[in-house]
Structure 1
Amino acid sequence: MTTKRAQPDACSLLDADHRNVKKMFAAYEELTKSRAASARDKRRDLAMQICMELTVHAQIEEEIFYPAARAAIKETDLLDEAEVEHAGAKDLIAQIQEAAEVDDMFDAKVKVLGEYIDHHVKEERNELFPKARAARKLDLVAMRDELAARKEELMAEMSVMA
């Protein structure tokens, strides 16, 4: 017996991003326990990777997923909250990217960003994604392909700029 969720959809793709970045935050946390000079460089590199992943993820949600969900879901308060959370995350990302030193404040900003993202992910996974999947007007399987293509395009652009 197959279920409607057997085929990966837009929510599956976004949630895979969530899981990937959660692993990166955990790896960062492990690096903060090391006092080796090389750990400082690794922390900066990993923090920049986290920032890039989150920037691209937020952009594809804002360009593709949120507008489609807003058109298909009656209660848009979750989408309003998600956009406010994105704005807060973007501010922290900018602070991390602009930081001159990898010090205790840098680590604190990465940690708070991780907590912010964790909260955001829980709301999307537990509230927004089920509503999106229940909305008849959303073709989340087709949207997955659109999100994947845009993500690939943005990652390529960011890699060139890095």
Structure 2
Amino acid sequence: MATIRQEADACTLLDSDHKAVKKMFKAYEELVGSKARGVDQKKLDLAHQICHELTVHATIEEEIFYPALRAALKDTDLLAEAEVEHASAKDLIAQIGSMEQADEMFDAKVKVLGEYIDHHVKEERNEMFPKARAARELDLVAMREELMARKEALMGVEVA
């Protein structure tokens, strides 16, 4: 029996962002235990990269994905919850972004941000994405293109 591969859609794009950031959080955790020379600067740089990726991701969700879902779904409790989670994450991102050295508090903030993101990703993956894919009025394949274009603009990447 052949498996039919689902066409890449908005949820696929958002989930690939989730996976990329998860890898960065894991890399950060590995640096936390390191005593190597220059590790503090590596942690600082990686944490700022994580924050930038998350900021861009949250922006495309808030500008494109969530409003489309809000219009298509009857039950929008999940969206309200996601927006509150984004606000909490943005607060931590701002705190991390304003710190100039990777110390104990810096590590703790990055760890908690990772935990917030893990929780948020699970809810999107297990609850929001299935509802989005079930909503017939959403063209998630076309939305993927819109999300990608906006993401590239925010990242400063030229569209090929």
Q: TM-score range by the shorter chain?
A: over 0.9
Alignment partner of 1:93 is 2:93: yes
Alignment partners' CA distance in 1, 2:117 and 2:73 = 23
Residue identity (%) = 73
Give the partner amino acid of 2:22.
Answer: K
| Partner residue in 2 for 1:120 | 120
Q: What is the CA-CA distance between 1:25 and the residue it aligns to?
A: 0.0
| Partner residue in 1 for 2:25 | 25
Alignment partner of 1:35 is 2:72: no
List structure 1 segments (4+ residues) > 2 angstroms apart after TM superposition: none
| Partner residue in 2 for 1:108 | 108
Question: Which has a greater percent of helix?
Answer: 1
Give the partner amino acid of 1:128.
Answer: M
**For 1:22-52, what per-residue CA distance to the aligned partner results, in whole angstroms no more than 9, with x for missing partners?**
0000000000011223111100000000000
Q: Structure 2 length as normaliser, TM-score?
A: 0.94
Give the partner amino acid of 1:93.
Answer: I
Q: Which ranges in structure 2 are unaligned for 5 or more consecutive residues? A: none
RMSD of aligned residue pairs (Cα, Å): 1.2
Alignment partners' CA distance in 2, 1:84 and 1:102 = 27
**For 1:97-123, what per-residue CA distance to the aligned partner results, in whole angstroms no more than 9, with x for missing partners?**
001221000000000000000000000
**For 1:125-148, what per-residue CA distance to the aligned partner results, in whole angstroms no more than 9, with x for missing partners?**
000000000001100000000000
Q: May I ask how many residue pairs the two structures share in their alignment?
A: 156
Alignment partners' CA distance in 2, 1:134 and 1:2 = 20
- Paired residues of 2:40 and 2:101 also in contact (CA < 8 A): no
Alignment partners' CA distance in 1, 2:6 and 2:92 = 36
